[in-house]
Amino acid sequence: MQEFITKSYPNQSPALAMPGQKLALSLKSFEAWRKYIYDSTGIYFQDNKKYLLESRLQKRIMHLGIKTFEEYLDFVKFNPSGSAELKYLYEAITINETFFFRNQPQLDALVTTILPEIISSKQKLGKNKIRIWSAASSSGEEAYSIAMMINDLIKPKYPNFDYEIVGTDISNAVIDTAKRGTYKEYSVRNTPAYYLKKYFKANGTAFELEHKIKSMATFKLLNLYDDLSMRTMINFDVIFCANVLIYFDQTSKIKVINHLYNSLLKGGYLFIGYSETLHGISKAFKLTSFPKTIGYKKE
Ligand SMILES: C[S@@+](CC[C@H](N)C(=O)[O-])C[C@H]1O[C@@H](n2cnc3c(N)ncnc32)[C@H](O)[C@@H]1O
Protein backbone atom coordinates (compact mmCIF):
# COMPACT_ATOMS: atom_id res chain seq x y z
CA MET A 1 0.00 0.00 0.00
CA GLN A 2 2.78 2.37 0.95
CA GLU A 3 4.32 1.62 -2.43
CA PHE A 4 1.10 2.45 -4.27
CA ILE A 5 0.70 5.78 -2.54
CA THR A 6 4.28 6.75 -3.24
CA LYS A 7 4.08 5.69 -6.88
CA SER A 8 0.78 7.37 -7.62
CA TYR A 9 1.62 10.58 -5.91
CA PRO A 10 5.36 10.92 -6.57
CA ASN A 11 5.58 14.58 -5.59
CA GLN A 12 3.92 14.14 -2.27
CA SER A 13 5.19 12.38 0.75
CA PRO A 14 3.00 9.36 1.46
CA ALA A 15 -0.08 10.72 3.10
CA LEU A 16 -1.24 8.41 5.82
CA ALA A 17 -4.34 8.71 7.92
CA MET A 18 -3.63 9.17 11.59
CA PRO A 19 -5.09 6.57 13.92
CA GLY A 20 -8.37 7.83 15.38
CA GLN A 21 -8.67 10.53 12.72
CA LYS A 22 -12.13 10.66 11.13
CA LEU A 23 -12.27 10.88 7.34
CA ALA A 24 -15.17 12.54 5.58
CA LEU A 25 -16.81 10.99 2.53
CA SER A 26 -17.80 13.87 0.27
CA LEU A 27 -20.98 13.63 -1.76
CA LYS A 28 -18.93 13.43 -4.96
CA SER A 29 -16.81 10.63 -3.58
CA PHE A 30 -19.90 8.83 -2.24
CA GLU A 31 -21.36 8.89 -5.75
CA ALA A 32 -18.14 7.57 -7.28
CA TRP A 33 -17.97 4.78 -4.69
CA ARG A 34 -21.65 3.96 -5.11
CA LYS A 35 -21.23 3.62 -8.86
CA TYR A 36 -18.15 1.46 -8.51
CA ILE A 37 -19.79 -0.88 -5.98
CA TYR A 38 -23.00 -1.03 -7.99
CA ASP A 39 -21.22 -1.81 -11.26
CA SER A 40 -19.23 -4.62 -9.69
CA THR A 41 -21.76 -6.19 -7.30
CA GLY A 42 -25.28 -4.91 -8.01
CA ILE A 43 -25.42 -3.60 -4.43
CA TYR A 44 -26.91 -0.10 -4.42
CA PHE A 45 -26.23 2.23 -1.52
CA GLN A 46 -29.25 4.53 -1.17
CA ASP A 47 -28.58 8.15 -0.22
CA ASN A 48 -29.53 7.41 3.38
CA LYS A 49 -26.80 4.72 3.54
CA LYS A 50 -23.97 7.20 2.93
CA TYR A 51 -22.88 7.11 6.56
CA LEU A 52 -22.95 3.33 6.62
CA LEU A 53 -20.66 3.19 3.59
CA GLU A 54 -18.45 5.88 5.11
CA SER A 55 -17.93 4.05 8.38
CA ARG A 56 -17.42 0.67 6.74
CA LEU A 57 -14.85 1.90 4.21
CA GLN A 58 -13.19 4.05 6.83
CA LYS A 59 -12.20 1.04 8.91
CA ARG A 60 -10.38 -0.47 5.97
CA ILE A 61 -8.82 2.83 4.89
CA MET A 62 -7.46 3.41 8.40
CA HIS A 63 -6.16 -0.11 8.50
CA LEU A 64 -4.27 0.45 5.25
CA GLY A 65 -3.12 3.90 6.30
CA ILE A 66 -4.55 5.63 3.20
CA LYS A 67 -5.55 9.26 3.53
CA THR A 68 -8.78 9.68 1.58
CA PHE A 69 -11.73 7.79 0.16
CA GLU A 70 -10.70 8.95 -3.31
CA GLU A 71 -7.23 7.41 -2.97
CA TYR A 72 -8.72 4.18 -1.80
CA LEU A 73 -11.04 4.07 -4.83
CA ASP A 74 -8.11 4.72 -7.16
CA PHE A 75 -6.20 1.96 -5.47
CA VAL A 76 -9.02 -0.54 -5.88
CA LYS A 77 -9.62 0.48 -9.50
CA PHE A 78 -6.17 1.04 -10.93
CA ASN A 79 -3.48 -0.58 -8.87
CA PRO A 80 -2.36 -4.04 -10.07
CA SER A 81 -2.89 -5.40 -6.59
CA GLY A 82 -6.26 -3.67 -6.36
CA SER A 83 -8.08 -6.84 -7.39
CA ALA A 84 -6.72 -8.56 -4.28
CA GLU A 85 -8.15 -5.67 -2.30
CA LEU A 86 -11.65 -6.49 -3.60
CA LYS A 87 -11.75 -9.31 -1.11
CA TYR A 88 -11.56 -6.80 1.75
CA LEU A 89 -13.83 -4.34 0.04
CA TYR A 90 -16.59 -6.92 -0.37
CA GLU A 91 -16.18 -7.96 3.24
CA ALA A 92 -16.50 -4.32 4.28
CA ILE A 93 -19.64 -3.53 2.31
CA THR A 94 -21.74 -6.67 2.81
CA ILE A 95 -24.15 -7.46 5.60
CA ASN A 96 -23.89 -11.14 6.42
CA GLU A 97 -26.68 -11.62 8.98
CA THR A 98 -27.97 -15.19 8.94
CA PHE A 99 -28.77 -18.07 11.30
CA PHE A 100 -29.74 -21.73 11.22
CA PHE A 101 -33.38 -22.53 10.42
CA ARG A 102 -34.05 -18.91 9.54
CA ASN A 103 -37.01 -19.77 7.33
CA GLN A 104 -38.58 -22.96 8.64
CA PRO A 105 -41.68 -22.86 6.36
CA GLN A 106 -39.40 -22.89 3.29
CA LEU A 107 -37.42 -25.81 4.68
CA ASP A 108 -40.66 -27.66 5.44
CA ALA A 109 -41.92 -27.03 1.89
CA LEU A 110 -38.63 -28.38 0.56
CA VAL A 111 -38.72 -31.68 2.43
CA THR A 112 -42.45 -32.35 2.53
CA THR A 113 -43.48 -31.34 -0.99
CA ILE A 114 -40.78 -30.16 -3.36
CA LEU A 115 -38.13 -32.84 -3.03
CA PRO A 116 -40.62 -35.76 -3.09
CA GLU A 117 -42.18 -34.21 -6.23
CA ILE A 118 -38.84 -33.68 -7.99
CA ILE A 119 -37.47 -37.05 -6.91
CA SER A 120 -40.54 -38.83 -8.21
CA SER A 121 -40.21 -37.20 -11.65
CA LYS A 122 -36.47 -37.92 -11.73
CA GLN A 123 -37.05 -41.57 -10.83
CA LYS A 124 -39.26 -41.89 -13.90
CA LEU A 125 -36.40 -40.59 -16.04
CA GLY A 126 -33.87 -42.90 -14.37
CA LYS A 127 -32.02 -39.96 -12.75
CA ASN A 128 -30.75 -39.98 -9.19
CA LYS A 129 -29.22 -36.63 -8.34
CA ILE A 130 -30.66 -33.57 -6.61
CA ARG A 131 -28.82 -30.24 -6.72
CA ILE A 132 -29.61 -27.41 -4.33
CA TRP A 133 -27.98 -23.97 -4.31
CA SER A 134 -27.87 -21.58 -1.41
CA ALA A 135 -27.02 -18.40 -3.34
CA ALA A 136 -25.67 -15.62 -1.09
CA SER A 137 -25.23 -18.27 1.59
CA SER A 138 -23.28 -16.05 3.96
CA SER A 139 -21.58 -18.33 6.52
CA GLY A 140 -23.49 -21.45 5.48
CA GLU A 141 -26.28 -21.72 8.05
CA GLU A 142 -29.00 -22.03 5.39
CA ALA A 143 -27.12 -24.66 3.38
CA TYR A 144 -26.43 -26.73 6.49
CA SER A 145 -30.03 -26.41 7.72
CA ILE A 146 -31.06 -27.90 4.39
CA ALA A 147 -28.46 -30.65 4.79
CA MET A 148 -29.70 -31.59 8.27
CA MET A 149 -33.30 -31.81 7.13
CA ILE A 150 -32.41 -33.83 4.05
CA ASN A 151 -30.30 -36.17 6.11
CA ASP A 152 -33.14 -36.78 8.54
CA LEU A 153 -36.24 -36.68 6.40
CA ILE A 154 -35.32 -37.37 2.77
CA LYS A 155 -32.28 -39.61 2.66
CA PRO A 156 -33.91 -42.45 4.63
CA LYS A 157 -36.82 -42.48 2.14
CA TYR A 158 -34.70 -42.12 -0.99
CA PRO A 159 -31.33 -43.64 -0.08
CA ASN A 160 -30.27 -44.13 -3.69
CA PHE A 161 -30.29 -40.44 -4.48
CA ASP A 162 -27.26 -38.14 -4.42
CA TYR A 163 -27.82 -34.80 -2.70
CA GLU A 164 -25.51 -31.98 -3.69
CA ILE A 165 -25.77 -28.71 -1.78
CA VAL A 166 -23.71 -25.73 -2.94
CA GLY A 167 -23.33 -22.48 -1.03
CA THR A 168 -21.91 -19.35 -2.63
CA ASP A 169 -21.23 -15.80 -1.49
CA ILE A 170 -19.27 -12.77 -2.61
CA SER A 171 -17.49 -12.45 0.74
CA ASN A 172 -14.42 -14.51 1.38
CA ALA A 173 -14.64 -14.31 5.16
CA VAL A 174 -18.11 -15.86 5.34
CA ILE A 175 -17.17 -18.62 2.90
CA ASP A 176 -14.24 -19.51 5.15
CA THR A 177 -16.57 -19.66 8.16
CA ALA A 178 -18.98 -21.86 6.20
CA LYS A 179 -16.16 -24.27 5.33
CA ARG A 180 -15.05 -24.42 8.96
CA GLY A 181 -18.56 -25.28 10.16
CA THR A 182 -18.04 -23.88 13.65
CA TYR A 183 -20.56 -21.36 14.93
CA LYS A 184 -21.31 -19.06 17.84
CA GLU A 185 -24.44 -19.35 19.93
CA TYR A 186 -25.99 -16.47 17.99
CA SER A 187 -26.12 -18.62 14.83
CA VAL A 188 -27.78 -21.59 16.48
CA ARG A 189 -30.28 -19.61 18.55
CA ASN A 190 -33.22 -20.69 16.37
CA THR A 191 -32.10 -24.29 15.90
CA PRO A 192 -34.65 -26.87 17.08
CA ALA A 193 -33.29 -28.67 20.15
CA TYR A 194 -33.49 -31.97 18.30
CA TYR A 195 -31.07 -30.85 15.56
CA LEU A 196 -28.82 -28.99 17.96
CA LYS A 197 -28.36 -32.12 20.03
CA LYS A 198 -28.04 -34.47 17.10
CA TYR A 199 -25.69 -32.57 14.78
CA PHE A 200 -23.64 -30.13 16.89
CA LYS A 201 -20.88 -30.63 19.38
CA ALA A 202 -20.49 -27.87 21.96
CA ASN A 203 -16.88 -26.80 22.36
CA GLY A 204 -16.55 -24.00 24.90
CA THR A 205 -18.74 -21.24 23.52
CA ALA A 206 -18.63 -22.69 20.00
CA PHE A 207 -20.92 -25.17 18.26
CA GLU A 208 -19.19 -27.52 15.85
CA LEU A 209 -21.24 -29.09 13.12
CA GLU A 210 -20.91 -32.82 12.71
CA HIS A 211 -18.66 -33.94 9.86
CA LYS A 212 -21.47 -35.90 8.17
CA ILE A 213 -23.53 -32.73 7.69
CA LYS A 214 -20.50 -30.64 6.74
CA SER A 215 -19.62 -33.11 4.02
CA MET A 216 -23.03 -32.68 2.39
CA ALA A 217 -22.34 -29.05 1.39
CA THR A 218 -19.56 -27.31 -0.51
CA PHE A 219 -18.89 -23.58 -0.56
CA LYS A 220 -17.26 -21.22 -3.00
CA LEU A 221 -16.92 -17.54 -3.82
CA LEU A 222 -19.37 -16.27 -6.39
CA ASN A 223 -20.62 -12.84 -7.33
CA LEU A 224 -24.28 -13.05 -8.33
CA TYR A 225 -23.78 -9.95 -10.46
CA ASP A 226 -20.99 -11.44 -12.54
CA ASP A 227 -22.37 -12.77 -15.83
CA LEU A 228 -19.52 -15.16 -16.55
CA SER A 229 -19.61 -16.82 -13.13
CA MET A 230 -23.38 -17.06 -13.23
CA ARG A 231 -23.29 -18.91 -16.53
CA THR A 232 -21.37 -21.71 -14.80
CA MET A 233 -24.17 -22.27 -12.28
CA ILE A 234 -26.61 -24.53 -14.08
CA ASN A 235 -28.87 -27.55 -13.59
CA PHE A 236 -30.15 -26.80 -10.09
CA ASP A 237 -33.38 -28.28 -8.78
CA VAL A 238 -33.90 -25.74 -6.00
CA ILE A 239 -32.31 -22.34 -5.36
CA PHE A 240 -32.52 -20.38 -2.13
CA CYS A 241 -31.59 -16.76 -2.71
CA ALA A 242 -32.82 -15.08 0.43
CA ASN A 243 -32.21 -11.67 1.93
CA VAL A 244 -29.82 -10.38 -0.70
CA LEU A 245 -32.18 -8.84 -3.27
CA ILE A 246 -32.91 -6.14 -0.70
CA TYR A 247 -29.44 -4.73 -1.30
CA PHE A 248 -29.94 -4.48 -5.08
CA ASP A 249 -31.85 -1.95 -7.15
CA GLN A 250 -34.57 -2.93 -9.63
CA THR A 251 -32.18 -3.34 -12.57
CA SER A 252 -29.76 -5.56 -10.70
CA LYS A 253 -32.62 -7.59 -9.20
CA ILE A 254 -33.92 -8.27 -12.73
CA LYS A 255 -30.48 -9.27 -13.95
CA VAL A 256 -29.80 -11.64 -11.03
CA ILE A 257 -33.26 -13.21 -11.10
CA ASN A 258 -32.94 -13.84 -14.84
CA HIS A 259 -29.69 -15.63 -14.20
CA LEU A 260 -31.24 -17.71 -11.43
CA TYR A 261 -34.08 -18.66 -13.74
CA ASN A 262 -31.51 -19.96 -16.22
CA SER A 263 -29.69 -21.80 -13.43
CA LEU A 264 -32.81 -23.79 -12.57
CA LEU A 265 -33.93 -26.97 -14.27
CA LYS A 266 -37.49 -27.12 -15.57
CA GLY A 267 -39.74 -28.04 -12.64
CA GLY A 268 -37.27 -26.45 -10.20
CA TYR A 269 -38.08 -23.92 -7.47
CA LEU A 270 -36.67 -20.61 -6.30
CA PHE A 271 -37.11 -19.28 -2.76
CA ILE A 272 -36.38 -15.68 -1.80
CA GLY A 273 -36.58 -13.90 1.57
CA TYR A 274 -39.73 -13.16 3.64
CA SER A 275 -39.65 -9.48 2.85
CA GLU A 276 -38.67 -9.88 -0.81
CA THR A 277 -40.88 -10.25 -3.86
CA LEU A 278 -40.51 -10.91 -7.57
CA HIS A 279 -43.40 -8.57 -8.25
CA GLY A 280 -42.23 -6.24 -11.01
CA ILE A 281 -39.01 -8.27 -11.37
CA SER A 282 -39.98 -11.42 -13.25
CA LYS A 283 -43.08 -13.02 -14.70
CA ALA A 284 -41.26 -16.15 -15.76
CA PHE A 285 -42.01 -18.18 -12.61
CA LYS A 286 -45.25 -19.70 -11.40
CA LEU A 287 -46.04 -18.46 -7.90
CA THR A 288 -46.69 -21.55 -5.77
CA SER A 289 -48.19 -21.58 -2.27
CA PHE A 290 -47.02 -23.78 0.57
CA PRO A 291 -48.07 -23.66 4.21
CA LYS A 292 -46.92 -20.26 5.53
CA THR A 293 -44.66 -19.55 2.56
CA ILE A 294 -44.47 -19.18 -1.21
CA GLY A 295 -42.03 -20.46 -3.80
CA TYR A 296 -41.39 -19.66 -7.45
CA LYS A 297 -41.56 -22.57 -9.85
CA LYS A 298 -39.90 -22.78 -13.26
CA GLU A 299 -42.42 -24.60 -15.43
C1 LIG B 1 -28.11 -10.95 4.77
S2 LIG B 1 -27.08 -12.20 4.10
C3 LIG B 1 -28.27 -13.47 3.73
C4 LIG B 1 -27.75 -14.85 4.04
C5 LIG B 1 -28.76 -15.98 3.83
N6 LIG B 1 -29.13 -16.10 2.44
C7 LIG B 1 -29.98 -15.80 4.68
O8 LIG B 1 -31.06 -15.51 4.15
O9 LIG B 1 -29.88 -15.94 5.89
C10 LIG B 1 -26.73 -11.52 2.48
C11 LIG B 1 -25.50 -12.13 1.83
O12 LIG B 1 -25.48 -11.74 0.46
C13 LIG B 1 -24.12 -11.62 0.07
N14 LIG B 1 -24.05 -10.83 -1.17
C15 LIG B 1 -24.29 -9.51 -1.35
N16 LIG B 1 -24.12 -9.17 -2.64
C17 LIG B 1 -23.75 -10.30 -3.29
C18 LIG B 1 -23.41 -10.58 -4.65
N19 LIG B 1 -23.41 -9.63 -5.59
N20 LIG B 1 -23.08 -11.85 -4.96
C21 LIG B 1 -23.08 -12.81 -4.01
N22 LIG B 1 -23.38 -12.61 -2.73
C23 LIG B 1 -23.72 -11.36 -2.36
C24 LIG B 1 -23.47 -10.97 1.28
O25 LIG B 1 -22.08 -11.15 1.30
C26 LIG B 1 -24.20 -11.64 2.44
O27 LIG B 1 -23.47 -12.72 2.96
CATH number where 43 lies: 1.10.155.10
- pLDDT value at 90 more than 90: yes
Whether 33 is covered by a domain: the verdict is: yes
Residues 132 and 271 in one domain: yes
Domain boundary among 93, 121, 137: 93
Q: For all residues of the chain together, what is the average pLDDT?
A: 93
**Which residues constitute the domain of residue 45?**
2-93
Cross-sheet strand order for the sheet of 200-203: 182-184, 206-209, 200-203
Q: Choose which residue among 49, 87, 94 to substitute to test ligand 1 binding: the one with the highest number of ligand atoms within 8 A of its C-beta.
A: 94
Residues 25 and 134 in one domain: no
CATH number assigned to the domain comprising residue 126: 3.40.50.150
Q: Of all atoms in ligand 1, which is nearest to the CA of residue 222?
A: 21
Q: Please report, in angstroms and rounded to a whole number, the separation of the first and last CA atoms in the chain.
A: 51
Output phi, psi for 270, to 5 deg.
-115, 135
Domain boundary among 43, 65, 93: 93
pTM of the model: 0.93
Helices 82-93 and 50-64 pack at an angle, to 10 degrees, of: 140
Q: Of all atoms in ligand 1, which is nearest to the CA of residue 171?
A: 25
- pLDDT value at 269 more than 90: yes
Whether 290 is covered by a domain: the verdict is: yes
Residues 79 and 122 in one domain: no
Kindly indicate the confidence band of residue 19, based on its pLDDT and cuts at 50, 70 and 90: low
- pLDDT value at 11 more than 50: no
Whether 177 is covered by a domain: the verdict is: yes
Domain boundary among 93, 122, 137: 93
- pLDDT value at 83 more than 90: no
Residues 142 and 224 in one domain: yes
Number of domains observed in the structure of the chain? 2
pLDDT digits (tens, 9 = 90+) for 123-159: 999 999 999 999 999 999 999 999 999 999 999 999 9
Q: Closest Cα partner for 242 from 112, 106, 68?
A: 106
Distance CA 256, CA 1 (A): 34
Whether 98 is covered by a domain: the verdict is: no
Distance CA 277, CA 85 (A): 33
Percentage of the chain exceeding pLDDT 90: 89
Kindly indicate the confidence band of residue 261, based on its pLDDT and cuts at 50, 70 and 90: very high
Whether 143 is covered by a domain: the verdict is: yes
pLDDT digits (tens, 9 = 90+) for 41-66: 999 999 999 999 999 999 999 999 99
Residues 87 and 208 in one domain: no
pLDDT recorded at residue 13: 32
Residues 112 and 193 in one domain: yes
Residues 137 and 15 in one domain: no
Residues 34 and 117 in one domain: no
Q: Which residues line ligand 1 (CB under 6 A)?
A: 41-43, 94-98, 102, 136-138, 142, 169-171, 174, 223-225, 242-244, 247, 273
- Ligand 1 centre to CA of 160 (Å) is 32
Whether 268 is covered by a domain: the verdict is: yes
Residues 122 and 257 in one domain: yes
Using DSSP, state whether 221 is helix, strand or coil. Answer: strand
> Which neighbouring-strand residues pair with 134?
167, 240
pLDDT digits (tens, 9 = 90+) for 238-256: 999 999 999 999 999 999 9
Residues 74 and 220 in one domain: no
